[in-house]
Every structure is written in C-alpha cells, then in structure tokens.
Amino acid sequence: MGNLDAFKRTTSFQSGILSLMANLSSGVEDLEMLKTMFNKLDADKNGTLTIHEIRKGFDEVSQLGNSYKKRSAAEYKEMMMSLDTNGDGVISFDEFIAAAANKVALLNKDNINAAFSLIDTDGSGSITIEELRSAFDTDHNQQKDMSLWQNIMREVDKDGDNKISKEEFFEAMTAVLKQHHAADARV
C-alpha cells in the first residue's frame, strides 16, 4: 500500500517505464502476490479497480492498526488520477503492478539499462518519440494524440534535442527513488 501511495508522485513517463520494468523483472511469485492483492481489491471482479475499491482497501488496512492514515476524498482522487496512466477512469492490472512494485528493488542500474535498451530499438543510444510511441502505444492507434508523446519528450529531454539520452533516462528514473525516499522520510 505504501508503494501505491508513493506512486502518485511519478510522472507519466516514469510510471510507464516502471510498468515495463515491473513486468520484465518481476518473478512469478511477486506477480502472483500482486495478482492476489489486486483480486482482493477488485470487489466486483471486473478486472479493474475503481476509486471506491482502492479507498475500501486502504481503509481496511488503516483499521488493522498499521501506520497508514485515513485519507481525504481529495487524496484518493489525486491517487486515482496518478495510478490511471491511460486516463480511462479505472486501474488495470498493469497500472497496479507499476504502482505496487518495490521501486527500490526495481530501479537498479541493470534494470534501468535493460529498459532503455528495450525502448532504444535502433541502438542509437537515444530514444526518439517514435520509439516511445512504439513501446507504449499498445493499441497501435496511429491517430493517437501526438501531444502526449511530445509532452513526455519535453518532460524528460533536458537538452532539448528531441531525443532522450541514456543520461536523461537514468536521471528521470532515479528521480523516482528520490521521491520514494522523501515519502519514507515524511511517514
């Protein structure tokens, strides 16, 4: 639950990469545990989580006497918006995995390099908008709004060359760890 709560501070780019990395590096046991947790939260068993199902799950954890505090409706809405990376109003299992994964274990140099290499399909040492789109536009909708990909590029491309270098990629992903550690310090 702490990882879900901390996930709301990641950007669209970071959450997409985390989802990719979680799916690549999670062992069968980890995925089974996350699937069990997801299924417990999915009260109506439709394969997605709503804000109400997430709120109920967090509230149940709070009642068990753990260190989780009750959250306001606004905090749940903010969490839902950050978890729902594709904007469809519900949380899919892939979105849940990305949020629930242990970012400290996941974000090591080898995993970050592997994710970069997977997206950098031409092996040029940088990621273009086309490579980002190819890696994450799973419905292969060629008409999908290019502004999404341009916004992600602007978010990560610090030198403005319209490419994400390995250094920029690494910086964006290690920022997640800094956010995670800052969240731990506040608890």
Q: Does domain 2-105 have CATH number 3.40.50.12780?
A: no
Judge whether 2-105 and 109-176 match in fold.
yes
* Distance from the first to the final alpha carbon of the chain: 13
Residue spans per domain, the chain: 2-105, 109-176
Going residue by residue through the chain, which has 187 residues, state the pLDDT in tens, using 9 for 90 and above: 444 444 445 677 777 777 777 666 655 566 777 788 888 889 999 999 998 998 888 777 666 554 556 677 888 888 788 778 778 889 888 888 777 665 656 677 887 888 899 899 999 999 999 998 888 776 655 555 778 788 889 989 999 999 999 999 988 888 876 665 454 444 4
Is the four-CA dihedral 137, 123, 15, 66 of positive or negative sign?
Answer: positive
**What topology is assigned to 109-176 in CATH?**
Recoverin; domain 1 (1.10.238)
